[in-house]
Structure 1
Amino acid sequence: MNYEERDPYGIYKANTSGGIGLDAGKGPGPALMGADTLIGNDVYSRKAEMLGEVKEIMLDMRTGRIAYAVLSFGGFIGMGDKLFAIPWEALTLDTMNKRFVLDVEKEQLERAPGFDKETWPDMANPEWAEGIRAYYGRPMYAA
């Protein structure tokens, strides 16, 4: 399912105010989007390999920024999948295909630091955050 199919408020529908961003005239998206409509969106590699789906969006409550998208990868029908915290800046919204693109190879994601849904890491720990951001080549943002 993609963000247009999860749009209970008509955020991505045509409007008379003109809109902004890549799809001008269709509401505020994609320059401004509802978090609930992004959860469940597919994530693909640049080679169009399916990598998983966004399970959660993590907000940094100190800065008001989106810190991570939690990506589910692997497993079968929700069983045995591994979760990954992906720095938000590492994702690109593909408005043509209505999905996210992550610039990593599938093999790189398989080797990435991940976690089980029963054992979440301390994402507020600066050392953990620096390691994740370094893995995906994304610097820490200023607080």
Structure 2
Amino acid sequence: MRLFRDMIGWVAHGEAAGDGPPDGPAGHRIIRASGVTQAPVFSASGERCGRIFDLSIDKRTGRIVYALISVEGDLGLLSRVCPAPWNLLRYDAARGGYAAPAERADLTAGPPITPEELRRVGASDSAWQDRLAIYYNP
């Protein structure tokens, strides 16, 4: 029971087990979903190209399938939301964000998904998934 009370205390104080403050040490392996959304995304060349807008999660397995990246255009304004397979992104502790193995132009050239499509099918349309898989793994 003490562990349960401690966990409730952690959550009540804005931290869950394994989480540190957003600007704190990046050595923790577990992070809350709210700590992932809004995290910066860096291109293969190290350029900051956007932020993680949202995540698509398989309801049955609990596995994150896609990161929805809000790619920034000129002057840091939102250009578009680009889905990318989650397994392609790697956490970069030094930058405090996620590294993509692609450039900004590559992310924006990938198969698009509209917010309506995302709400309706949750990115579960197999034809769309195939296009995304082929794009990122030719």
Using the size of structure 2 for normalisation, the TM-score is: 0.71
Q: CA RMSD in A?
A: 2.7
For 2:14 and 2:44, how far apart are their aligned partners in 1? 30
Work out the number of aligned pairs and report it. Answer: 117
Task: Quote the offset at 1:42 in angstroms.
Answer: 0.7
Identity, in percent, stands at: 22
The letter for the 1-side match of 2:53 is K
Q: Which residue among 20, 25, 46 is the counterpart of 1:12?
A: 20
Check 1:77–1:55 CA distance in 2 against 1; reply closer, same or farther (3 A cut).
farther
For structure 1, the residue ranges without an aligned partner over 5 or more in a row are 1-6, 14-21, 24-28, 139-143
Task: Quote the offset at 1:66 in angstroms.
Answer: 0.5
CA contact (8 A) 1:43 1:50 kept: yes
CA contact (8 A) 2:84 2:107 kept: no
Please give the residue correspondences for 1:30-49 in structure 2 after superposition, counting only pairs within 5 Å.
31-49=29-47
For 1:80 and 1:33, how far apart are their aligned partners in 2? 25
State yes or no: 1:108 paired with 2:114: no
Provide, for residues 12-70 of structure 1, a one-character-per-residue CA deviation record: whole Å limited to 9, x for no partner. Answer: 26xxxxxxxx82xxxxx2x2211111100110112111221101011111222111111
For 1:76 and 1:103, how far apart are their aligned partners in 2? 21
The letter for the 2-side match of 1:45 is S
Task: Quote the offset at 1:75 in angstroms.
Answer: 4.5
CA contact (8 A) 2:50 2:72 kept: yes
Determine helix, strand or coil for the equivalent of 1:120. Answer: helix
Q: Which residue among 50, 53, 58 is the counterpart of 2:51?
A: 53
Matched residue, 1:120: 117
Task: Quote the offset at 1:94 in angstroms.
Answer: 0.3
Q: Which one has a larger percent helix, Structure 1 or Structure 2?
A: 2
The letter for the 1-side match of 2:87 is E
Determine helix, strand or coil for the equivalent of 2:35. Answer: helix
Tell which structure's C-alpha radius of gyration is larger: 2
CA contact (8 A) 2:55 2:68 kept: yes
Matched residue, 2:4: none
For 2:110 and 2:64, how far apart are their aligned partners in 1? 20
Determine helix, strand or coil for the equivalent of 1:54. Answer: strand
